Structures are given as structure tokens and as C-alpha cells.
Amino acid sequence: MSDTCGWCGSAISPEGRRRYCPRPRSCRQAAYRDRRRAAAAFRARAALFQIGGEIRDRCEALELALADAIAGQHAEAGLHSTAAADFAHLTRELVRVAVIADRAAGATWEEIGRPHELTADAARARWGHLGLIRPPESFAP
């Protein structure tokens, strides 16, 4: 073991097997919270990776369908509306997961709301209740 606290770096006695300060659990709890935050951020980033891949796949499929429609001068009924609905759903999901990833990384509600032109309170009200539903626990990019 080291002679310094694993969290704050202050000196600790070399006796025993302590990794953190003997202060009443503050360094140990802070390290635990940091590990949990890092794990949550990883899962959220993996979900962003999945959604980005889905958007890319849908873009390629839409491009091919539109090229066929232009070449044939005729598009299938509902093609454009279906494509727009798919992208609207995926972009909402992308924003939702991005907010979760930012919160897991420690961003404030003000920092999250700014690009969406929302106040911190409005961002918290809109996205404060969200939880991650993807990716599955066993996901590996």
C-alpha cells in the first residue's frame, strides 16, 4: 500500500492496509462516487455509440431509397414521412442519452441547457427524471 490517500493525496500512516484517509469516510465515499459516475458515463457513451450507428444506417438506407425514387421518378407512398419519423425518434433518443452522459460526467444543468437554449431549471424539468434504458449491461463496442 502507498503512504498517501488514494483520493486526496494526503499522507497516511504506513501501518495497516488503508487506501484512504482515516477521516470519517469522506475520501473513501468520494472515490466510490467517482467510480460509480465513471461506470454510468461509460454506459451512456456506449448508448450514444449505438444510436449514432443506427442513425448512420438509416441515413444510408434513406439515401439509397431516395436515389431509387429519383431514378424511377416515383417514390413509394409514405417513404418520406416514415424516414422523417424515424429520424425524429432517433434524434430525441440521442439528445436524451447525451443528457444522461453529460450528467454522469458531472455537467451542471446550466451547461446542459445552454446548447438547447434552456435555463438550468427548464433543462432539469425536461430531462431530470431520465434513466438509461440502453445499452444492455453486456454491451462492448
Tell me how long the chain is.
Answer: 141
- Residues 62, 70 contacting (CB under 8 angstroms): no
Put simply, whether the predicted model's pTM sits higher than 0.85 gets the answer no
pLDDT at residue 14 above 80? Answer: no
Alpha-carbon span 47 to 94, nearest angstrom: 9
Could you give the percent of the chain with pLDDT greater than 70? 84
Query: Tens of pLDDT along 99-120?
Result: 988 988 889 999 999 999 999 9
Return the sign of the alpha-carbon dihedral for residues 65, 67, 69, 71.
negative
Report which of residues 24 and 55 the model is more confident about: 55
How many distinct structural domains can be found in the chain?
A: 1
Domain span at residue 83 reads 38-127
What cell was used for 67? 436515389
- Residues 5, 20 contacting (CB under 8 angstroms): yes
- Residues 26, 10 contacting (CB under 8 angstroms): no
Q: Is 135 part of a structural domain of the chain?
A: no
Q: For residue 110, what pLDDT is reported? A: 96
Q: Is 21 part of a structural domain of the chain?
A: no
Q: Is 123 part of a structural domain of the chain?
A: yes
Q: Is 64 part of a structural domain of the chain?
A: yes
Average pLDDT of the chain is 80
Mean pLDDT along residues 114-140: 79
